[in-house]
């Protein structure tokens, strides 16, 4: 059975064929995200940025989902999938680094991780037109690596090294707006 068509997304993260590589466990992902300085939680535990604490927590709760707390290390701008895909393609064509990008297949929403505290006031018109959603400080965002696979990376953060660079929110919002503004001919 084939998955949903995500359109042509350059540099899209591709999953290895079954049997060629083992998927990362929730624990491995939680440890990786904590090492980035992202506060991770199972959704019902105190968030931690300590990789050793994340290791211990997910060792005790291996089937727990991995969530991060928005507004602590990053904010999230979420749009409907068609708008999000179009914005992602447009920004990449322009050579704009977009940072990590999430896709939630069940809701068909695209989430852009952006620099925290750069959102300002999201224009109401843009929010209504694009079905825009902003995750505010303290909101939980599910991250890939959870055993339930409800969320996937469209643009995955680096696997090693320093935390991923995130764009300021206005860059992503500009990409989203440019995809929804009627073009004059």
pTM to 2 decimals? 0.82
Q: How many helices (H) and strands (E) does the chain have?
A: 5, 8
Please write the tens of the pLDDT for every residue from 151-180: 999 999 977 668 899 999 989 988 888 876
Domain ranges of the chain: 68-180
Please write the tens of the pLDDT for every residue from 88-113: 999 999 999 999 999 999 999 999 99
**Is the Cα dihedral 169, 175, 176, 180 positive or negative?**
positive
Please write the tens of the pLDDT for every residue from 127-157: 556 678 888 789 999 999 877 779 999 999 9
């Amino acid at each position: 059975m084939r998955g949903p068509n995500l359109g042509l997304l350059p540099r899209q993260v591709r999953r290895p064929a079954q049997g060629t590589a083992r998927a990362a466990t929730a624990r491995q992902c939680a440890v990786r995200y904590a090492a980035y300085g992202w506060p991770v939680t199972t959704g019902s535990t105190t968030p931690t940025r300590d990789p050793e604490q994340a290791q211990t927590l997910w060792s005790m709760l291996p089937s727990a989902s991995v969530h991060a707390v928005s507004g602590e290390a990053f904010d999230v701008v979420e749009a409907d999938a068609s708008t999000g895909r179009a914005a992602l393609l447009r920004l990449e064509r322009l050579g704009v680094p977009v940072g990590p990008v999430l896709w939630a297949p069940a809701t068909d929403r695209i989430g852009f991780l952006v620099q925290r505290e750069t959102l300002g006031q999201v224009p109401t018109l843009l929010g209504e037109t694009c079905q825009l959603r902003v995750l505010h400080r303290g909101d939980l965002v599910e991250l890939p690596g959870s055993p339930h696979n409800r969320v996937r990376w469209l643009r995955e953060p680096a696997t090693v090294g320093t935390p991923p660079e995130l764009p300021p929110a206005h860059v992503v919002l500009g990409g989203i707006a440019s995809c929804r503004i009627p073009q004059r001919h």
